[in-house]
């Protein structure tokens, strides 16, 4: 039988409900009106009688911020993408939902978050990844932390598309002025070398920054990409330009990393290099349209560009390109390669 106690404070009246049953944990909850208290008490008793009761107390006393911080401490450090995931968690911690109890977050709350991010013009895939992270936190709390009463609200809404297809190519003049912009802006001249190396090898940003001198075999003209996104090491053939770039880099007698550049510094310098390069282009070509010049360009687009150039050589087949880029699914490789129509037309002619 549920016991209801009326509590009177200075500002308001509340009703505390206690449900006790042998073999079940005691359940206590407070309501602002008696009708809600009685309704809750009857519901808990009925669930206990049917043997389907699940303790909701932890879900009702744990905020989303508590869950996110615990996930950040216990789960995130073991992941390869720990830095990126930590950044997403910090973004969620700043959202108003972080103050809410886990049990109170509904599907409509996640839908409102999704729509608000779209209004900020964020990429669909970025929004999807943010929601996917939250979904994993809910599932971890439910399956690993014993908060079994939780319903994952992220599974109740339509997620944004996972398609992240980009067709951005780096035009020849853009490459020239991007490098000029990096020369003008960057004190660390290795950043320019990283950009040029990316265009020569089609390697991912993380793979390039992780390269050590012990990974390079000059005799065989290869570089070993360790612990890649796919989880495997792979050997990448190096062009004569890529080998010349490596020869330009300072090298310690103890070996170590080839490019002493942090990911954050590279991203910021690349963005600034695009801005500076566009400014220099405007100075040199005041009468030409510049609306799209070096705009909407990301470092990862260099991988798109390099892969497309490999195809445009006309001497490598799909499997050979896949062995260089590390794409295991040919459909994914197709997604990354956007061949220029004018070059194909020349071959047809």
Phi-psi region of 329 (alpha: psi -120 to 50; beta: other; left: phi over 0): beta
Task: Single out the catalytic residue among 192, 204, 276, 304.
Answer: 204
Task: Single out the catalytic residue among 229, 241, 328, 334.
Answer: 229
Cβ distance 288 to 271 under 8 Å?
no
Cβ distance 149 to 55 under 8 Å?
yes
Which residue from 144, 125, 182 is spatially nearest to 58, judged by alpha carbons? Answer: 144
Check if 229 is active-site. yes
Take residue 182 and report the two structure tokens written for it.
Answer: 């990096």
Check if 185 is active-site. no
**Looking at the chain, how many residues does it have?**
349
Check if 338 is active-site. no
Name the E strands within 130-261.
216-217, 222-225, 234-237
Take residue 63 and report the two structure tokens written for it.
Answer: 């905020």
Task: Single out the catalytic residue among 88, 128, 303, 304.
Answer: 303
Check if 177 is active-site. no
Which residue from 330, 314, 322, 196 is spatially nearest to 266, judged by alpha carbons? Answer: 196
Task: Single out the catalytic residue among 106, 298, 300, 338.
Answer: 300
- How many helices (DSSP H) and strands (DSSP E) are in the chain? 15, 6
Check if 303 is active-site. yes
Alpha-carbon distances of 305 from 77, 200, 212, 310, rounded to whole Å: 33, 10, 24, 9
Task: Single out the catalytic residue among 128, 196, 304, 327.
Answer: 327
Task: Single out the catalytic residue among 15, 71, 177, 336.
Answer: 336
Check if 108 is active-site. no
- What one-character DSSP code corresponds to residue 43? H
Q: Which residues are catalytic?
A: 204, 229, 300, 303, 327, 336
């Amino acid at each position: 039988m549920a016991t209801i106690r009326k509590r009177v404070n200075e500002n308001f009246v509340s009703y505390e409900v206690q449900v006790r049953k042998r073999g079940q944990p005691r359940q206590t909850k407070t309501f602002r009106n008696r009708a809600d208290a009685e309704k809750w008490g009857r519901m808990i008793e009925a669930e206990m009688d049917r043997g389907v009761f699940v303790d909701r107390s932890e879900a009702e006393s744990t905020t989303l911020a508590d869950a996110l911080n615990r996930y950040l401490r216990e789960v995130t450090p073991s992941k390869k993408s720990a830095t990126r995931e930590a950044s997403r968690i910090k973004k969620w911690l700043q959202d108003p939902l972080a103050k809410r109890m886990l049990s109170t977050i509904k599907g409509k709350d996640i839908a409102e978050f999704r729509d608000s991010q779209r209004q900020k013009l964020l990429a669909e895939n970025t929004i999807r990844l943010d929601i996917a992270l939250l979904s994993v936190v809910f599932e971890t709390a439910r399956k690993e932390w014993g908060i079994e009463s939780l319903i994952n609200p992220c599974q109740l809404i339509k997620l944004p598309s996972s398609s992240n297809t980009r067709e951005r190519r780096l035009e020849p003049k853009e490459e020239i002025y991007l490098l000029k912009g990096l020369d003008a802006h960057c004190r660390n001249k290795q950043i320019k070398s990283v950009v040029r190396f990316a265009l020569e090898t089609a390697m991912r940003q993380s793979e390039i920054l992780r390269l050590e001198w012990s990974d390079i075999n000059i005799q065989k003209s290869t570089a070993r990409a360790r612990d890649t996104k796919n989880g495997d090491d792979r050997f990448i053939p190096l062009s004569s330009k890529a080998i010349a770039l490596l020869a330009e880099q300072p090298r310690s007698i103890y070996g170590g990393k080839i490019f002493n550049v942090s990911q954050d510094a590279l991203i910021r310098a690349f963005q600034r290099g695009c801005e500076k390069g566009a400014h220099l282009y405007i100075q040199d070509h005041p009468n030409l349209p510049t609306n799209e010049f070096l705009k909407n360009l990301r470092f990862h687009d260099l991988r798109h560009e390099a892969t497309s150039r490999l195809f445009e050589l006309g001497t490598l087949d799909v499997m050979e390109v896949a062995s260089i880029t590390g794409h295991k699914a040919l459909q994914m490789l197709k997604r990354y390669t956007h061949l220029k129509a004018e070059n194909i037309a020349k071959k047809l002619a």
